[in-house]
Structure 1
Amino acid sequence: MQLVFSAEDTGRVLKYNPSTKETTVLVRNIQFPNGVSLSKDGSFFVFCEGSIGRLRKYWLKGEKAGTSEVFAILPGFPDNVRTNEKGEFWVAVHCRRSMYTYLCSLYPKIRTFILKLPIPAKIQFLLHIGGRPHAVVVKYSQEGKLLQILEDSQGKVVKAISEVEEKDGKLWMGSVLMPFIAVYNLN
C-alpha cells in the first residue's frame, strides 16, 4: 500500500536474455509497474502504470523502436493487461479513482503526509474517502482506442479485479484480494 500511495517512481521494465543471461533496463522511473502484454504482431508491448492509472506502449520494432509513449489513460488503477486473439487489450482495473486519488495525483505531498499517519488512522482515512472496490474491465484496440467498459459499480457480484483473460467468447476474471473466479459471457 505504501508503494502505491508514495508516488515513488523507481519501477522499471526489464528485458532478460536467457541465452546470454543479461538483463537490460528498457524503461525507468515508473510508478508501480504491473502487467505486460505483447501486441499480436510483436511490434510493441503494453504495460500498466498502476499508481497513476495509465497504460504505456513500448515499441520493439520500427522507427520508434526503443521508445515508449502513453497508450491510454484509465478510469482507475490497472492491475494487469492481456491481449486477446484479435490483438485487443483487456485491462483489469482494481478500482476507480476517488477524489482522494485524483488529488494525490495532482499533489503527491498529500500521499506523503498520509503515509506518516499511524496505521489505524491511515486505514480509517482511506476507507472514508478512498471508496469501495468494485469491478472494472476495459478493452482497447491496438491503437489505444477505448472499445468497451464492463463495470459492477456496486461490487455486488465482482469486485477488486486483478486479472482478466478472454477465451472462447468468455471473459475470465480473478482477484488477489477476493476468493473468486468470475466468468462473463461476451456473446
Structure 2
Amino acid sequence: MILASYLGLWPVPIDPVGWDAPSAPGYTGEHAANSKLAGAQRIELHGEVGPEHVLAGPDGKLYTGVRSGNILRMNPDGSGQEVFAATGGRPLGMAFAADGSLVVADGVKGLLSVAPGGQVSALGDAQARFLNAVAIGAGGKIYVTESSTRFTPARHGGTVEAAMLDVMEQSATGRVLEYDPATKALREVATGFSLANGIALSADGASLFVSESGRYRVWKIAIDADQLDVGKQSAQARIVFDNLPGYPDNLTRAPDGTLWLGFGGQRNDLDQMARRPFLRRVVLRIPRFLWAAPKAVGHVMAFSEDGKVLDDLQDPAGASPLTTGATVSAARLYIHNADGGALGWIAHPPLAADALTGVLSGNPRSEAAAP
C-alpha cells in the first residue's frame, strides 16, 4: 500500500502532456549501423568534464565550454590548454562576433559576451531561463535557442537533468530568440519546440536550422519569422528531418557548407509512454538506477541544406554516447560530448585553403555556429 501510494501520489516536477510519438526507426537506411566513429582519438582535459560544444576560433585555436563553468582554449592538437574565461555557469553554444568577442549561450547565466582578454559580461537584459545554442547573422544579430521556459539548469540539477524533465513533460515551451546588440532588443522568432537545442544559419543567412531534441526533428525556419508557433502549419517553417533515431543536439556548419548534427542520446521506452502522461509521473518516482537504458551509441551525421544525409558516423561501443555535436577544423573532426573527460577527434579530409580561411575568419556564413 505504501509503495503504491508513493508511485501514484508522490509529487514530481513535471505536468506531462500526451503526444503522438512516431515509432522509432532504429539504425536503418541512411543511419544503418556502422563503426565510422569507433576508436576516436582523445584529447584529455585534465580534470575538466563535458566539452559540450567545440568552436574553431579566428586565432586558429579551439574553444570549448565545460561543466565547471570554464571556457578552455587550446591548440588544434590539444596542447597549450588554458582557461580562457570563467562564466560561473554552464557555457554551452558559442560563436565569434565580428569584433572578436566570443558570444556564449550559458545554460545558467544567460547570454554572455567574452572579450578577447577573457573578461565576461552579460548582454543586455537577454537573460532567459535555459539558453543552449547560438548563431550570429551577417548583420551582427544573435540568434539563440532557449531549450525550455519550464525547467532550468540552475533549479533542476544541471543541463542534463533539466533537459530530461522537459522531454518527459512534453509541454513544448522551447523558443528561438533574436538579440540585437545595437538596440539591446530581444525578439521571439519562434516557439513551440520540445527542447529547442542546436541552431545554425543557412548559407544565404535567410533561415535558421533548429534541432528539436524532444521530438526527434530538425527544422528550417525563416529568420524574419515573428512569434511563429511551429505547432501550427506555416510557410515560414518546415521539417527537414523527422523521426530521427536519437535526440538531435548541436548543429554546426563546416567551411564547405555541410551541416553537422550530433545525437545526445538514443531513443528509449519514453515513446511508449507518449499517450500515457500518468506513466511518466510514475517513472520519475522510480530510482534512476532502475531505469531501463537504451544501448549507448555514439552518433553524428552530416547533411546538406536540402536535407540529404551526406555521412553518418557511429560508435556502437558507446565510448561517448552523449555525442552532442561535431566540429570540422583543418584535418580533424572534433566530437562534442556532454559528460566525458576528454575531447574526441577523428581524421577528416583536409579543408581547402579558402575554406579554412573562412572558418577561422569568424565569417558567420561559414563558421560552426551552435551546440
TM-score scaled by structure 1? 0.84
Question: Any idea what SS the aligned residue of 2:214 has?
Answer: coil
Structure 2: distance between partners of 1:50 and 1:125:
24
The answer as to 2:339 corresponding to 1:177 is yes
CA apart distance, 1:86: 2.0
Q: Which amino acid aligns with 2:257?
A: G
Counterpart for residue 166 of structure 1: 328
Q: Deviations over 1:21-73 (max 9, x none)?
A: 11111111111111111122212111111111111111237xxx982211112
Q: Which amino acid aligns with 1:25?
A: E
The one of 194, 199, 209 equivalent to 1:31 is 194
Structure 2: distance between partners of 1:47 and 1:160:
19
Counterpart for residue 252 of structure 2: 82
**For the aligned residues, what is the CA RMSD?**
2.1
Counterpart for residue 280 of structure 2: 111
How many residues align structurally? 175
Q: Whose radius of gyration is greater, 1 or 2? A: 2
CA apart distance, 1:186: 2.5
CA apart distance, 1:95: 2.0
Q: Which amino acid aligns with 1:67?
A: Q
TM-score scaled by structure 2? 0.44
Greater relative contact order, per chain length (Cα 8 Å cut-off, separation 6+): 2
Query: Where does the alignment leave 5 or more consecutive residues of structure 2 unmatched?
Result: 1-163, 225-233, 350-371
Q: Which amino acid aligns with 1:83?
A: R
Q: For residues 5-16 of structure 1, what are the structure 2 equivalents within 5 Å?
A: 5-16=168-179
The answer as to 2:309 corresponding to 1:139 is no
Counterpart for residue 93 of structure 1: 263
Q: Which amino acid aligns with 1:33?
A: A
Query: Where does the alignment leave 5 or more consecutive residues of structure 1 unmatched?
Result: none
Return the structure number with greater strand share: 1
Question: Any idea what SS the aligned residue of 1:102 has?
Answer: helix
1:46–1:56 Cα contact (<8 Å) kept: yes
